[in-house]
Structure 1
């Protein structure tokens, strides 16, 4: 049974951003899936391009083992996302606004990003994640 864009997105979000579980994250991808972060500088802490489920699994496990430099938790009540379907049934776009718990001055830092998903057989065949982790440092 094929998964909906909502199910695919929520599974990916939970495995990655919420639980930092590289195995679960990788299982969202096809065996030859591609995870790209085009805004990342080459050699940065976050991988710029990963090809294949196993490379995604190992590289993201290494990334998740790094110390977290941003110690605020996402505020799920203030955060949100919209999923946009396209004329291609195998492509959808996630527009995400993540709001983090405020600092001592009461500011609620926010990060906005866009992800483009290409799906095959209910799994992610290619994900372009337009996100800059440096915004959180």
Structure 2
């Protein structure tokens, strides 16, 4: 049975943003899946391009291990929101996301867009567009 964009997106967010579980995140992708953050400069702390489930698993585990909560605090999932946009292509959808951080005394909203290409119910390619300075 094929998974819906909603189910795929929720699995991805739970594995990544909510639990920072690199194994679960990698399993959201096809064996040859690609995870890209094309706006990031080379050498950024967050990986710019990862190819293959195992590279995604390894690089994201290392990133999560190094990551320290910053001045923004943790994401507040109750205040955050998203809209999924389907496209004419049945294997492409877009997530428009506003993540709210409530640390540091006042809410900070970070907006981003992700483009998902799906194959067999898994992410074949994810392009994550966010401001590079968010990952300093």
Which category describes the TM-score, using the shorter chain as reference length?
over 0.9
**Closer, same or farther: CA 36–67 of 1 in aligned 2, 3 Å:** closer
Task: Name the TM-score, length of structure 2 as normaliser.
Answer: 0.93
Report the RMSD for the aligned CA atoms in angstroms. 1.4
* Aligned equivalent of 1:127: 126
Unaligned runs of 5+ in 2: none
Distance 1:56 1:42 in 2: 17
Distance 2:135 2:107 in 1: 12
Q: How many residues align?
A: 135
* Aligned equivalent of 1:88: 89
Give structure 1 regions of 4+ aligned residues with deviation exceeding 6 angstroms: none
User: Aligned with 2:10: secondary structure?
Assistant: helix
Task: Name the TM-score, length of structure 1 as normaliser.
Answer: 0.93
Q: How does 1:1-137 map to 2 (within 5 A)?
A: 1-70=1-70, 72-104=73-105, 107-132=106-131, 134-135=133-134
Distance 2:119 2:135 in 1: 32
Unaligned runs of 5+ in 1: none
CA positional deviation for 1:131: 2.0
CA positional deviation for 1:74: 1.4
Distance 2:45 2:55 in 1: 15
**Closer, same or farther: CA 121–19 of 1 in aligned 2, 3 Å:** same
Distance 1:19 1:108 in 2: 21
Contact kept in structure 2, 1:30 and 1:120, CA below 8 Å? yes
Distance 1:67 1:87 in 2: 37
